[in-house]
Structure 1
Amino acid sequence: MAEQEQHVLGEGSAILTPTDHKVRPAVQVGRCIKEVPPAAASIIGKCPYYYQPLHGEYLETVEKVSVSSVWETVKAFATSWDPWKDKEVARRLLHRREQLIAPESTDSDWSRHGNFMMRHIGCGHKPPSYYVSYGYYYCSHYGAELFPNLSAKGKAWLVLARRYLQLNLEDGLRQNMRGDVVQIASQKPGNGAFSMTVRKRELELNDETFQTFAFKTHPLAYLDGGIAYLPPADLINIIRQPNLQEWGSQGTYEQAIATGTSSIKTRGRDAADAVSSGTEDLVNRVLGFLAAK
């Protein structure tokens, strides 16, 4: 019965009227399902896990903005954007709603963002901005630009880190369905852990809380992916890839690169990875940089 109820979007009543009465009864449509179904294993590690770029407004705003202002634009857009304004996409998703809210859905339009929309209709809740900003945008654009410039070991790290980021999100959402405490530990021993208190079934409902939770998982995912064992050249490529305004100024950016390069030259030996070559400071800088997104 409960499963059937989640597919009902509204209820109304009517009485017998003359055949010439053409006014349709109004039915209030709305649904708020806080239960977050698990994602399908096949989508984990892929950028559309966060968001499917179906909306024209997203494409017009984000894809066409200048490189110098793209990150601030993406963050501002994701925070203020109302995805329901695109009636065509809303209709498309609503027609597939049952598939999109099903546990482990493999529907081609499924994403965490779309799943949230189909569970929260007319109740005032907005999908976490993280899904569009850091999630989809950073995953697709940053990853696409960085990947070709990495070594084989660096490419493997990028793939693994993306997967661990999403596994951590799934773990947190799953725990929040059961209680008020979310505890995430690294997939590999010694890479860290954290705990947060979040009201049961409300992790997705507060944008700031969700973003705090998501960012806390980043260092764990990067370390589990093996960032501490990357060659110095990969670490430099990682830290120089994002937009310059992330550093506050061109000078700050150049200083960070110079410091990283100096660290490699002064501490480095002919070793294959960052830890054994003594570039722990550079690893820490990269982790801090990535976690501050």
Structure 2
Amino acid sequence: MRIQSPGTPAPRIPTARTESPSVAARNTVRSPATGAPTRSQDVFEPARAQAPAAAAKGHAARNLPAEIPTGTPDYYRQRAEDFRRRNPGMEPPAYYMEYGQKYCDRFSSLGPKDLTPEGLQWRDRTLNALQEAIETKRMEDPVGFAQLERDPEAFKKFAYDSHPDAYVDSGLYNLPVQDLMKIGTTPDIKDLLTQDGVRQVIDALGKMSPGDVVNVARESVEELVNDVKSIFPSGIKLPEIKLPHLSLPW
């Protein structure tokens, strides 16, 4: 047994409520701004507070309209499927399947027996331009586009309004009249005799210039001559047909 000598202080026994300096240091961190010690459990409070906001932002991003490649035969079907994914229980705008996809399929089925080579090229440019108009609208304002999709009539008006520019800018009035006749009779009459359908026809005709009239006539005559040449033997030379100069009162 060790005997405590007189005058020597007794050793201090740490109690349960007293932490050694090394333990206390491990349980605290310092604020970068002030250097003041803070309990380590407080460091993770801001992360927990921001988690719901980050989750909501991610959810909103997933519900924005997806980008769909243009120039594809099933573009409108993919747009309709994307709408259903984002809006369970809701029907997509009728325009997607009842007009866009229907006429994409119908015009894509036309071949060399239906349209001239120029007409087929116009068809491909126009189908792509119509899809590009929708994708541009989505890209410019994804949230506004999603809201527009939920209003079928407003969406149909927007889509129909994009048609005349797509038709004309793709070279509609550079086609011969036989192409114009085929193009004009391909849609169902019920789709043309609606308010939006009549307006798009009027808008397209309003973009026709006097030069377009001459172009249509020229292309029609040239196509007629080519058809006639295919009937006669190659040794027979047909007279050259020239259109007179037209002075139109516009």
Scaled by the length of structure 2, what TM-score is found? 0.51
Instruction: Tell me the alpha carbon deviations over residues 62-90 of structure 1, each in whole angstroms, 9 at most, x when there is no partner.
Output: xxxxxxxxxxxxxxxxxxxxxxxxxxxxx
Instruction: Tell me the alpha carbon deviations over residues 134-193 of structure 1, each in whole angstroms, 9 at most, x when there is no partner.
Output: 111111024414764100000000000000000000011222326xxxxxxxxxxxxxxx
Aligned equivalent of 1:115? 82
After TM superposition, give the deviation of residue 246 of structure 1 in Å. 5.4
CA distance in 2, matches of 1:34, 1:167: 21
The structure-2 alpha-carbon separation of the partners of 1:269 and 1:176, relative to structure 1 and needing over 3 Å to count, comes to: closer
- Percentage of matched positions with identical amino acids: 26
Aligned equivalent of 1:237? 182
Equivalent positions of 1:37-52 (< 5 A) are 37-40=66-69, 44-51=70-77
Aligned equivalent of 1:155? 120
The structure-2 alpha-carbon separation of the partners of 1:236 and 1:33, relative to structure 1 and needing over 3 Å to count, comes to: same
The structure-2 alpha-carbon separation of the partners of 1:148 and 1:47, relative to structure 1 and needing over 3 Å to count, comes to: farther
Aligned equivalent of 2:154? 209
Equivalent positions of 1:23-172 (< 5 A) are 34-40=63-69, 44-51=70-77, 111-122=78-89, 125-145=90-110, 148-172=113-137
Specify the code of the residue in structure 1 equivalent to 2:84. M
Secondary structure class of the residue paired with 2:182: helix
For the 8 Å contact 2:174–2:216, the answer to whether it is kept is no
Q: Which runs of no fewer than 5 residues in structure 2 stay unpaired?
A: 1-53, 194-212, 222-242
CA distance in 1, matches of 2:72, 2:107: 13
The structure-2 alpha-carbon separation of the partners of 1:272 and 1:145, relative to structure 1 and needing over 3 Å to count, comes to: closer
After TM superposition, give the deviation of residue 242 of structure 1 in Å. 3.0
After TM superposition, give the deviation of residue 209 of structure 1 in Å. 0.7
After TM superposition, give the deviation of residue 236 of structure 1 in Å. 1.2
CA distance in 2, matches of 1:273, 1:3: 60
Aligned equivalent of 1:272? 219
For the 8 Å contact 1:160–1:225, the answer to whether it is kept is yes
CA distance in 1, matches of 2:97, 2:123: 19
Secondary structure class of the residue paired with 1:47: coil
CA distance in 2, matches of 1:129, 1:160: 24
CA distance in 2, matches of 1:117, 1:36: 11
Equivalent positions of 1:15-30 (< 5 A) are none
Secondary structure class of the residue paired with 1:45: coil
Aligned equivalent of 1:290? none
Q: Which runs of no fewer than 5 residues in structure 1 stay unpaired?
A: 7-30, 52-110, 179-198, 249-265, 280-293
Rg larger for: 2
CA distance in 2, matches of 1:160, 1:272: 19
For the 8 Å contact 1:32–1:121, the answer to whether it is kept is no
CA distance in 2, matches of 1:215, 1:151: 26
For the 8 Å contact 1:34–1:202, the answer to whether it is kept is no
Equivalent positions of 1:245-260 (< 5 A) are none
The structure-2 alpha-carbon separation of the partners of 1:130 and 1:200, relative to structure 1 and needing over 3 Å to count, comes to: closer
CA distance in 2, matches of 1:227, 1:117: 35
Aligned equivalent of 1:173? 138
For the 8 Å contact 1:173–1:203, the answer to whether it is kept is no
After TM superposition, give the deviation of residue 273 of structure 1 in Å. 6.8
CA distance in 2, matches of 1:269, 1:208: 34
Instruction: Give the aligned length.
Output: 152
Taking only aligned residues, the RMSD between alpha carbons, in angstroms, comes to 3.5
Aligned equivalent of 1:255? none
Secondary structure class of the residue paired with 1:149: coil
CA distance in 2, matches of 1:38, 1:226: 27
